[in-house]
Structure 1
Amino acid sequence: MTDPIHLGAGPLTTRDLVAIAREGAAVELDDAALERIEAGHRALEGLAAGGAAIYGVSTGLGAGVDTRIVPDAVVVQRRIPPGRAVGVGRNARPDEVRAIMAARLAGLCAGRSGASRGVAEALTDLLNRGVHPVVPMTGSVGEADLAPLSHIALVLLGQGEAEFQGEILPGAEALARAGITPPEFGVKDGLALVSANAASVGAGALVVEDAAQALRSMLAAAALSFEGYRAGIAPLDPRAAALRPAPGQAEAARRLLALLDGGDLAQPGSARKLQDPLSFRCAPPVLGAALAALVAARASVELELAGAGDNPAVIAEDGVALPNANFDPTHLALAFEALGAALARVAAISAARIVKLMSPGSSDLPRFLAPAPDGSTGYGPTQKTAAALLAEIGHLAGPMPVAVLPVADGVEDYATMATSTVDKTAGIVERLRLLAALELVVAAQAVDLRGGVALGSGTAAILTEVRGLVPTLEADRPAAPDIAAVAGFIASGGLEAVFGAG
């Protein structure tokens, strides 16, 4: 059983969100967080009672900011989520919904939203009792994820739909079966539940951890390709990175050397060539750049998890509801664009290595790594698979538009499209995992055909794991099940122990 995650007690990490979203970790609201939530709610109630103009509480939203209204928790706040539940497209997976709800709870724990304790505890109950609202993921422009978060808030109103114990139910029925009473809404609860970037932040946390896993599998695949190709390891020498310390290069080289340690390639004169193709030589800087981009993307998510993005923000100690633009996640959108572009470069050199291993003029191995010179296709057709994956990754790595249709009567005339950026980066990661699986299969065949070489301790373990799933190719057979088996093994974390999760 995974230990409970205490929200509001300290910084929340992307790894914490994975534990909540995928490992069944319960969440508990820290006592200090509950005190902050209650203090913010009391302060906001006082401001509203005093007649202050407070966005979304005593005024309309968006273009309606110029309309003064009477603060009313029942009428005003309860109508905010239904009016903004406009999502379309694919529904978020249960793990994504859980990550999104956890991210929003982390924001509420800052005590700056003005949300009531009852609503925060009800959102906690959804997580702990396994009620997962149905959340269509298209509809946010990345300036607070109003649409997806509104579909979550609907369920707290007893509306919408939710998955509970494998069944899609009306929201009210899902709550009843889980033993959750719909909470009373406070003076800003409707707005507090939906005005945040929790969809991009929560989903982004999962993408970061999946990307980290995919990159580790790419390091493993590159190392096994080095073995199969008998590539020189001079570019991995720490002295090379010291001469030009590009971001992440030294770390990538260190990890590759660790996997190759103990094998023939670590001995002088073991490489077949003085200089290998760039897809081998440039592995440290390219993989290193991706590692650096991953660090930046993780930092952008964890900054949001630790911050308060509510507008207006309730600063109870000063007695003010402060209008702000902390709902704008430009930094996060740019970090994920950079991560996607970096992963595309990793994909490009992986695909190139796959082709080089199959070329007898380059690798000195049988064409297409065919088991016998009898017209067998070997792994030749998988070059098309690599080409297709690389093309799709390149397409997804293209940036989202920086100019977006102005909405809300022109008030909202800039947008980040952060949620869509995170989603397309997830698509890159999914394809990168498949490409890593393909390279591992091809590299394992190259090693077997090479024969008579001592592998490094890490690469030997990698080969053992691959061969436990995929036997050596001795006659043409469908490669799709082999690729799928290795990709599933990577996704399940099976490869982690072989080369470390650092």
Structure 2
Amino acid sequence: MSPPVLLGASLVTISDIADIADGRRVAAFAPAAEARIAASADALGRLAQAGERIYGVTTGLGAAVDTTLTHDDGVQMRVPLARCVGVGRSATLREWRAIAAVRAARLAQGRSGASLAASRGLLDLLAHDVRPVVPMIGSLGEGDLAPLAAIAAVLSGQGQAIVDGHIVPGAEALAQAGLKPVGLAGKDGLALVSSNAASVGLATLCVADAELVFSAAIAACSLSFEAYRCSLAPLAAEALRLRPLPGQDEVAAALGRQFEGGDLVGQGAARRLQDPLSFRCVAQVLGAMRVALDAARRITEIELGSSDDNPAILAEGVSLPNANFDTTHLTLAFETLGLALARSAAMIGERVMKLMSPASSELPRFLSPLQNGRNGYATVQKTVSALVADIQHRSNPMPAFVVPVADRVEDYATMATAVVEKTAVIVERLRLLVAVELMVAAQAVDLRTGIALGAGTAQIHRIVRSAVAGLSEDRPATPDIEALDALIATGAFTLAVAGKDV
């Protein structure tokens, strides 16, 4: 096990959260973070004692903000229970760990007013593998109340959790882990649920996964270029400088490195003067995907390094009402990323079809070396078409208007959780699609006799063949696609595209 992620010691990164979510590292509070948490909780106590109006502490919540609370009669214990309204699929183990890690990272900033006991309790759930059942439908993106309430409920001995594959009461799950329920007081209940940790947690995983898919898409595209014998002219720096769009230089350079040492870089190697647009425009389209992915990364990292607590409780003794729970920037970044991924998916689908077509690629139909009644990869085209259609559907934006809630006080919402969730599914579908292109392009390379691959594309081809044998006689393609999908998730193609041995 690698060293723990010390929350609050420095800015937490997407890689940190992904490591916690995937079980590669554990999370712990840095001593300075615990001091900040305690100072914020102490400041809350002083403010409440002085009679200051503090939203959710000395007043009601939502439309009940006009209600004054004169004493804590267990309201913080009730806050999560009243918000356990989620429905639909439950968060996966990986997702719940990312969500909890993000909330803990933000608590470590010491601006929430949460007690040290509640903050440590959240990390205890992670450390002891107590996994709450977290329904994912119910957040409107202005604070992920429903999913976070499910976690807070288990922390306080309520709700439901998953133990050994079975759903049990939260109190039983805590007892089996040797933990005691945390009594929520002060601002604990509100601090645990009033955050966008579900949206941001899913966003960290989405970005981490999309980075792996991006590298694999470069690898698959380069192998398709070799198989199709594409002209490299559109990747030339001189051509791209005529319109210096962001992202395209990086893509063109990454592709160009793969061809070095091969004969595709030689004069007359290309079969056509002008290739189909799904090949010719790859620097522009994958460049746009690179830009969208960078933007999603930047906004996610900003979220990880900031507080979204309302009100923020500063150690100096200030209760600061704010609107930092609004996630419009995050939502738009991930909507854009989804659209960019969809355009890359459309190009991949077309490249696969072109490679299988004798009229276009001058290779055997459906890339079967045996043509006497063999199927080859013909019916894989249906899988490609289905994946592309599913991605296009999910790339449609969520509505900008939703039904107002809380007696129409909460009359705007971003739907960030749903947006990030659908973008994450697009990433999963695109990874499968890239796996298909790797499989098909490797087969096409095998059938294109008499060519010398570049050093990079030769390594990519070897990686594909380490998991999937070439196709001779017809066989099921599903295991091959799934094997390459899993290989992409390991980062093997990220290393290859970077020119590192795998």
Tell me the distance in 2 between the aligned counterparts of 1:393 and 1:232: 29
Which one-letter code corresponds to 1:150 in the other structure?
A
**Conserved in 1, the CA contact under 8 Å of 2:264 and 2:270?**
yes
Q: Give the SS at the match of 1:385.
A: helix
- Contact 1:113–1:192, Cα closer than 8 Å, also in 2: yes
Q: 2:438 aligns with which of 434, 437, 440?
A: 440
Residue type of the partner of 1:385? T
1:368 maps to amino acid: F
Task: Say which SS state the counterpart of residue 181 (structure 2) adopts.
Answer: coil
308, 315, 319: which one pairs with 1:321? 319
TM-score, normalization: structure 1?
A: 0.97
Match of 2:167 in 1: 168
1:80 alignment partner in structure 2:
79
1:377 aligned to which of 375, 378, 394: 375
Q: Is 1:111–2:110 an aligned residue pair?
A: yes
Partner of 2:74, secondary structure, is helix
- Write the distance in 1 (CA, Å) between the matches of 2:456 and 2:285: 21
CA contact (8 A) 2:112 2:313 kept: yes
Q: CA deviation at 1:478?
A: 2.0
Q: Which amino acid aligns with 1:222?
A: C
- Alpha-carbon distance in structure 2 between the residues aligned to 1:69 and 1:463: 67
CA deviations over 1:130-160 (Å, ceiling 9, x no partner): 1111101110000000000000000111111
Preserved CA contact (<8 Å) 1:71 1:187: no
What CA distance in whole angstroms lies between the structure 2 residues aligned with 1:169 and 1:175?
Answer: 10
Q: Is the contact made by 1:40 and 1:112 (CA closer than 8 Å) also made in structure 2?
A: yes
Deviation at residue 65 of structure 1 after TM alignment: 0.7
Give how far 1:474 is off: 1.3
Q: CA deviation at 1:167?
A: 4.5
Partner of 2:307: 308
Partner Cα distance (2:499, 2:69) in 1: 54
Amino acid at match of 2:63: A
In structure 2, C-alpha distance between the alignment counterparts of 1:469 and 1:71, rounded to whole Å: 64
Cα separation, 2, equivalents of 1:423 and 1:11 = 24
Aligned to 2:496: 498
> CA–CA distance in 2 between the matches of 1:250 and 1:70?
62
Q: Within 2, Cα distance between the matches of 1:70 and 1:76? A: 11
Mapping of 1:360-439 within 5 angstroms?
360-439=358-437
**More deviation in 381-390 or 94-103?**
381-390
Relative distance call for 1:71 and 1:268 in structure 2 (3 A) is: farther
- C-alpha distance in 1 between matches for 2:258 and 2:168: 49
Whether the 8 Å contact between 1:216 and 1:501 is mirrored in structure 2 is no
**8 Å CA contact 1:144, 1:194 repeated in 2:** yes
Identity of aligned residues (%): 56
Contact residue 456 and residue 499 of structure 2 kept, 8 A: no
How much has 1:501 moved relative to structure 2? 9.3
**AA of the residue aligned to 1:481:** P
AA aligned to 2:299 is S
1:495 counterpart SS class: helix
In the TM superposition, residue 494 of structure 1 has moved relative to its aligned partner by 3.7
Unaligned runs of 5+ residues in structure 2 are none
Q: Report the equivalent of 2:281.
A: 282
Which residue number corresponds to residue 137 of structure 2?
138
Q: Residues of 1 paired with 2:23 and 2:240: CA distance?
A: 38
Q: Would the alpha carbon gap of residues 500 and 165 (structure 1) be closer, same or farther in structure 2, given more than 3 Å must change?
A: farther
| Cα distance between partner residues in 2 of 1:376 and 1:357 | 17
Give the structure 1 partner of residue 43 of structure 2: 43
Is 84-93 or 120-129 further displaced after alignment? 120-129
Instruction: For residue 166 of structure 1, report the CA deviation from its aligned partner.
Output: 4.7
Q: Normalising to structure 2: TM-score of the pair?
A: 0.97
Structure 2 distance, partners of 1:260, 1:133, is 49
Are the equivalent residues in 2 in contact too, given 1:48–1:71 (CA < 8 A)?
no
Task: Quote the Cα distance in structure 2 between the aligned partners of 1:71 and 1:234.
Answer: 74
Secondary structure of the residue aligned to 2:103 is: helix
Aligned pairs for 1:20-59 (under 5 A) are: 20-59=20-59
**Runs (5+) with no aligned partner, structure 1:** none
Q: Is contact 1:130-1:165 (8 Å) kept?
A: no
Counterpart code for 1:430: E
In structure 1, distance between residues paired with 2:262 and 2:161: 54
Structure 1 Cα separation of the partners of residues 382 and 15 of structure 2: 35
Q: Report if aligned partners of 2:74, 2:185 keep a CA contact under 8 Å in 1.
A: no
Which amino acid is 1:460 matched to?
Answer: A
| Structure 1 residue identity aligned to 2:74 | V
Instruction: Map 1:253-264 to 2 at 5 A.
Output: 253-264=252-263
Q: Which moved more, 1:142-151 or 1:278-287?
A: 278-287
Q: Give the whole-Å Cα distance in 2 for the aligned partners of 1:263 and 1:455.
A: 5
Amino acid at match of 2:2: T
CA distance in 2, matches of 1:104, 1:208: 18
Match of 1:212 in 2: 211
Look up the SS of the partner of 1:28 in the other structure: strand
Question: CA–CA distance in 2 between the matches of 1:7 and 1:298?
Answer: 19
Task: Using the TM superposition, give the Cα deviation of residue 108 of structure 1 relative to its aligned residue in structure 2, in angstroms.
Answer: 0.7
Match of 2:237 in 1: 238
For 1:388-430, what per-residue CA distance to the aligned partner results, in whole angstroms no more than 9, with x for missing partners? 1111000000000000010111011100000000110011011
In the other structure, the counterpart of 2:5 is: 5
Tell me by how many angstroms 1:173 deviates.
1.6
Task: Find the aligned partners of 1:102 and 1:405 in 2 and give their Cα distance.
Answer: 31
**Corresponding residue for residue 340 of structure 1:** 338
- How big is each residue's C-alpha offset from its partner over 1:27-68, in whole Å with a ceiling of 9 and x where there is no partner? 111111111111111111111111111110011111111111
Describe the superposition over 1:178-208 as per-residue Cα deviations: whole angstroms up to 9, x where unpaired: 2222223231000000000000001110011
1:272 maps onto 2:291 in alignment = no
Shift of 1:354: 0.5
**Alpha-carbon distance, 1:493 to partner:** 3.1
Change (3 A) 1:10 1:501: farther
Shift, 1:217, TM fit:
1.0
1:55–1:65 Cα contact (<8 Å) kept: yes
For 2:36 and 2:75, locate their aligned partners in 1 and report how far apart those are by CA, in whole Å: 24
Equivalent pairs counted in the alignment come to 500
* 501 and 81 in structure 1: CA distance in 2 versus 1, 3 angstrom threshold: farther
